[in-house]
Structures are given as C-alpha cells and as structure tokens.
Structure 1
Amino acid sequence: MNTQLIADNIDYLLIGNWANGQPGGLALTLFLAVAAGSIASLLGLAGGIALTMGQPGLRRTLEAVIAVLRAIPVMMLIFWCYFLLPILLGIDVPGIATVIAALALISAAYLSQSVYAGIAAIGHGQWAAGQALGLGRWQTLRWVILPQALRVMLPSFINQWITLIKDTSLAYVVGVAELTFVATQVNNREQIYPLEIFGMIGLAYFIVCSTLAWLGSRLARRWQPV
C-alpha cells in the first residue's frame, strides 16, 4: 500500500487545480451535489404540490414529463444538456452548469413523486381538520399537511441526495474535473497504483454519503412526534 502516493496527490484530489482558478476534486463534487440537490429539492417540492393541487391537465403533463425524465439514463441526460442547452439558449454554457441542470432535473422527477406520496400519506381527516378551523385548501396544505408530510418524505429525500452525490461521478463524460475525473488523471499518470487511488476515492464517497445518512437519521429523530 503506497500511502505516499496519496499524500503527494491529496491536494489535487481534494480541490483540483484551485490555485489556478480551476476547482475540482472532492470540492467540486460537493459543489455539484449541493447545487443540484438544492435546485432538485425546490423543483421536487413544487412538482409534488402541483401533482396534488393542480388541475387535471397540469397533472397529466407533469406525470408525462416525470415519466420521461425517470426513464432517461443520467449519462444521456447529461449529454443532452451539454449539447442542447447552448443551442437553446444561444450562449456558451459551462460544463458544470449543464451537469447541475441534468442532475437537478432527474432528481426533481424522483422527488416530485416522493412529495406527492408524502402528502397523500396524510389522512383526509387532516384536510378536514384544517378546513374546520377556517383555513383554505392552500393554507391547510401549508400549515397542516406539509409539516407532517415532510417527516414522511425525509428518508426519500436523503436517499435521493445520496444517489445524487454518487451520480456526480458521471460528470467526467463532459470533462468536468470532479473527484472521479481527477482520480483517473492521477491513475493515468502513476499507472501502477490503481488500488490505492480508487480505494481512497471510494472511501471519500463512503464518508460523505455516510455523513449525510447520519445527519438525516438525527434529523428524523428530532422530527418524531413527542
């Protein structure tokens, strides 16, 4: 086990070529995950609410879009965003932005279904209770249903965020220098130490995903009804 190899390349694996204005490695992986996860959570919440409260035409349209996104492989969606967004927008879109867009869209499709299921899991009696208090349908959703549904949704959100962190490794296909990409560069340069390099990368993903799962478990315990 050549630990010196890891020590010599640890800065590059963690932050890439940040000193020259080109962040990469684990830092870029976390940035991609946080950015895409935040956008996906907002879109997923909006999508789930629309599936619950929207008109039949809107719901059918959303269901069709969600079905298409869930059926497309993540790598293909990254390619589509990478090549189509510059054409549609008429500007040069950075590879990082296209990866964030692709990951956010596909994650939002899954989270929309999770939000819809979480809201549906709350009994009709809760809706009736809110309306009995004089609240409108949207007020009942905001003040009565969503606070309860979020506890139901949390495990699905955590699972999707963990999946998203791992899916950032697919950004290498469009040359984005996230953790797997820079690890491959180091391995190609060294040639004879793949076990050490990719073992360290696997450990990094394990630590990040396990930390997120642990935080999610703690948050779920705090949200449990007394």
Structure 2
Amino acid sequence: MTGLDWSFYNWELIQGFVLKGLAFSVQLTLIAMIGGILLGTVLALMRLSGVKLLAVPATIYVNGMRSIPLVMVILWFFLLVPFVLGRPIGAEMSAMITFTLFEAAYYSEIMRAGIQSIPRGQVHAGQAMGLTYGQNMRYVILPQAFRNMLPVLLTQTIILFQDTSLVYAIGAYDMLKGFEIAGKNFGRPVEAYLAAAVAYFLICFALSQLVRRLQQKIAIVR
C-alpha cells in the first residue's frame, strides 16, 4: 500500500472519468431491470399457462439464456446483429438490448417462483368470483407475487449492476471503463483498478443493506 500514489484519488478522477461511466452503468441497470422484469413476467406466465405452444418456447428461451455466459451473449449480439442488419447499432444500444434479453431469463424464474408461492386457494377464490385467467393474475396473483419476490428481484438487480462491467468487451463506456481510461492516462493502472473495486463494493454493499431493510419491513407486514 505504501507504493500507491494517493494523489491519484481526487475530484478530477471522479468528474473527468468516473461520473460519465457511472451514469451509463446506472442507466443500463435500470433499463435492463425494467425490461427484464416485464419480459420475465411474460415468460413466467407462458411457462405456467399449461399450453405447450407457449410453455415450450419460453422454457427453451429461459434455459438457453441461463446456460450461456453473459459476455458471450454480449459479443454475439454486438458482432452478429450488425452483420444481419447491414449496419452497426452501437455498443451502448447493444448492451441495453442484450442485458434486457439476458436478465429476463433470470427474472422469469424469480417471478415463476413468486407466482407458485401464492396459495392455490387464492386462485380458486378468484375463479369463484368469476375472474378470467388474465384478471386473476392481474388483480390477485401478480400483486402478491411481486411483493413476495421484491427482495429477490432487487438482489438480482444488484448482480445486474455488477455485470454491467462486462460491457468492456464491446468498448462501451461504463464505470469500469472510466477507471481504466484514467489509469492509462495517468500511468496508474493499479490505483485505478483498486479504486474501481472499492467503488463497486461500496455501491453494492449499500444497496444490499437497503434490500435487507426492505425485506425486514415486508416480513413485518406479513
């Protein structure tokens, strides 16, 4: 630690290199979270519908995505889609689409577990009141499932934020990229990567504490 250049850690580092990358990392996390939860919920409903025409494709998609490393999906999408379309779509847009499609598989499993955790009596009560399958899901099952799975959904979002560092593979400017560029410009790569590790730890640890408090509040409500 005595060999570190502590003058490297200053406001110029944060303002000039890190904030821009952090903004994109947060933006990517929020877009992938919202899109992933929406698409994941649809996939979960398809798997639970009991209709093979819906359940089989959803199962293949979820299991397939969960069996492939995220960095491979990022690279495939970034390299193959422009080849098919005949024009590039940019590293940032590729990252947003890829993360949304990939995370949907994980959010789908979370939502499926949440839906299945609701007692069958709730479903039968809704049916007895004359609710259709869609109305039953919308007004009875999904609101309870979301509340039950909220801590797990947020925990997956923290993991998603950590995974945003993988966009370095396609050259997108995320928080890690900002630290890396600063380290190269000032000739201090060790200090830069150490600062990046600390930044990711502090952000994820703070978010995990918020999730823990939320989980405790939900437990009290129950």
Same-fold call, TM cutoff 0.5: yes
The residue number in structure 1 matching 2:153 is 157
Q: Is the 8 A contact 1:14 1:179 kept in 2?
A: yes
Q: Which string of whole-angstrom CA distances, capped at 9 and with x for unpartnered residues, describes residues 17-42 of structure 1?
A: xxxxxxx3212211121122221111
Q: Is the contact between residue 118 and residue 150 of structure 1 (CA under 8 Å) also seen in structure 2?
A: yes
Aligned partner letter, 2:67: A
Q: Secondary structure at the match of 1:134?
A: coil
Structure 1, unaligned runs of 5 or more: 16-23
2:186 to 151, 167, 190: 190
Q: CA RMSD in A?
A: 1.9
Quote the residue 2:135 is aligned against.
Answer: 139
Tell me the CA shift for residue 193 of structure 1.
Answer: 5.6
1:9 equivalent in alignment to 2:5: no
Residue aligned with 1:176, SS: coil
Mapped to 1, the partners of 2:85 and 2:37 lie a distance apart of: 24
Q: Aligned letter for 2:6?
A: T
SS of 1:66's equivalent in the other structure is helix
Give the equivalent residue in structure 1 for 2:25.
29
Shift in Å, 1:161: 0.7
Partner of 1:217: 212
* 1:94 matches 2:90: yes
Deviation at 1:155, TM superposition (A): 2.7
Deviation at 1:169, TM superposition (A): 0.5
Mapped pair 1:202 → 2:205: no
Contact 2:17 2:178 in 1 (8 A): yes
Query: Whole-Å Cα distance in 2 between the matches of residues 53 and 97 of structure 1?
Result: 32
Aligned runs of 1:5-154 on 2, under 5 Å?
5-7=8-10, 8-15=12-19, 24-53=20-49, 55-154=51-150
Contact 1:111 1:156 survives alignment (8 Å): no
Alignment check: 8 A CA contact 1:66 1:109 kept: yes
The answer to whether the 8 A contact 1:13-1:25 is kept is yes
CA–CA separation in structure 2 for the residues paired with 1:116 and 1:169: 28
TM-superposed CA distance for 1:12, in Å, is 2.4
Checking the alignment, whether the CA contact within 8 Å between 1:2 and 1:193 is kept in structure 2 is no
C-alpha distance in 1 between matches for 2:92 and 2:112: 30
Partners of 2:50 and 2:33 lie apart in 1 by 24
Deviation at 1:219, TM superposition (A): 3.6
CA deviations over 1:25-69 (Å, ceiling 9, x no partner): 212211121122221111111111222226212101110111111
User: C-alpha displacement at 1:107, in angstroms?
Assistant: 0.8
Distance 1:109 1:62 in 2: 9
Residue type of the alignment partner of 1:13: F
TM-score normalised by L of structure 1: 0.87
Q: How many residues are matched?
A: 217
Whole-angstrom CA distance in 1 between matches of 2:148 and 2:210: 16
TM-score, normalising length from structure 2? 0.88
Query: Which residue identity is paired with 1:10?
Result: I
Identity %: 31
